[in-house]
Amino acid sequence: MIIEPGVSMDETIEDASASHLVGFCSQVQIKIEDNRVLLILPTAEEMPLELPWSEIWQEIKYLVKQREQSWPANAAVCLVVGDRLIDNRQLQSVEEVLTEAKLRLSAIRTSRRQTAVAAATAGYSVEQNLLPNPLSLFDVPPPSTEPVEMLAEPLYLKNTVRSGLEVRHPGTIIILGDVNPGGTVIAAGDVFVWGRLRGMAHAGARGNQMSQIMALQMEFTQLRIANSVARPPQKLPHNFVPEIAFMSKTGINLARASDFMKTHSFLLSEDCWVKKN
């Protein structure tokens, strides 16, 4: 019943360099709260490798476009920037993107004085916060071994993740579309691809070994679960069935998705999935 094509675990990342994979950094998030939209930028802490503003801005643009239908026209937006230094020009560039999506930048939430000054000067209302980032679900980056219970709400994307695009989310990611070669999906939770997975997917990116990757067609260039990495088998099957990738005792394995939950269970003591007898 269970097919487990030869996906072998090639390597386990054990050295210090693993921490950047596991110390998951969330990027821009959008939440809807009390009739307004919160646009949350990653804190400096969540971003060990400082991203250039142009990339953050690109991502804001992309996310806003993605979720265009989720708010009424002219909805107010609060930009949550935590301890990040944001200048006038950057505020303006965010405003432009929001205006295009029929949103209105109304407030800035920050814990940093200079940012607050810039925002006030530009005429936005300022909500000052003393905590680093009160909205972050992960105030403290967890140590790599602790599975993380708290996940953000799933991120649902309805389009193709094309080459060069990297989607990161501190929860589960659901994609209705393909992940093309060169495209990357990184989730703290599970990854669902309702389409072909031909790029790279990383589930449990903060270290949760229970996380899984599911795709209608597994044609990935690489899979990662927690801190394990797998490359595709030499020979791809001709007839694809929906498959599920999971951590077994020996590393990342693939199984037919339809009966996986009936045939496997997660053993907490081993921190991996095992076959039921």
Partner 1 sequence: MSRIIVITSGKGGVGKTTVTSNLGAAIANLGRKVALVDADFGLRNLDLLLGLEERVVYTALDVLAGECRLAQALVKDKRLNGLVLLPAAQNRNKESVEPEQMKTIITALAKGYDYIIVDSPAGIELGFRNSIVAAKEALIVTTPEIAAVRDADRVIGLLEAEGVSKINLIVNRIKPHMIEENKMMSVEDVLELLGVPLIGVIPDNEAVIVSTNKGEPLILGDPGSLPALAFKNIAQRLEGEKVPFLNFASDQGNILTKLRRIFGG
For partner 1, the binding residues (CB under 8 A) are: 58, 61-62, 65, 159-160, 162-165, 178, 180-182, 198
* Residue-wise burial string across 14-33, b where 16 or more C-beta atoms lie within 10 A, e elsewhere: eeeebeebbbbbbbbbbeee
Residue 126's Cβ-count burial label (10 Å; 0-12, 13-18, 19+) is middle
At its nearest, how many Å lie between partner 1 and the CB of residue 224?
A: 20
Compute the residue count for the chain: 277
d(CA 63, CA 24) in angstroms, rounded, equals 19
Distances (CA, A) of 57 to 18, 52, 139: 27, 9, 23
Whichever of 78 and 167 has its CB closer to partner 1, that residue is 167
Whichever of 178 and 243 has its CB closer to partner 1, that residue is 178
Whichever of 65 and 275 has its CB closer to partner 1, that residue is 65
Residue 62's Cβ-count burial label (10 Å; 0-12, 13-18, 19+) is middle
Whichever of 66 and 263 has its CB closer to partner 1, that residue is 66
Contact status, residue 37 vs residue 71, Cβ threshold 8 Å: yes
At its nearest, how many Å lie between partner 1 and the CB of residue 1?
A: 31
At its nearest, how many Å lie between partner 1 and the CB of residue 117?
A: 29
User: For residue 134, what are the contacts with CB-CB under 8 A and spacing of at least 6?
Assistant: none
At its nearest, how many Å lie between partner 1 and the CB of residue 245?
A: 22
How many helical (H) and strand (E) elements, i.e. helices and strands, does the chain have? 5, 19
Whichever of 19 and 159 has its CB closer to partner 1, that residue is 159
Q: What type of residue is 195?
A: G
At its nearest, how many Å lie between partner 1 and the CB of residue 164?
A: 4
Whichever of 82 and 183 has its CB closer to partner 1, that residue is 183
At its nearest, how many Å lie between partner 1 and the CB of residue 165?
A: 5
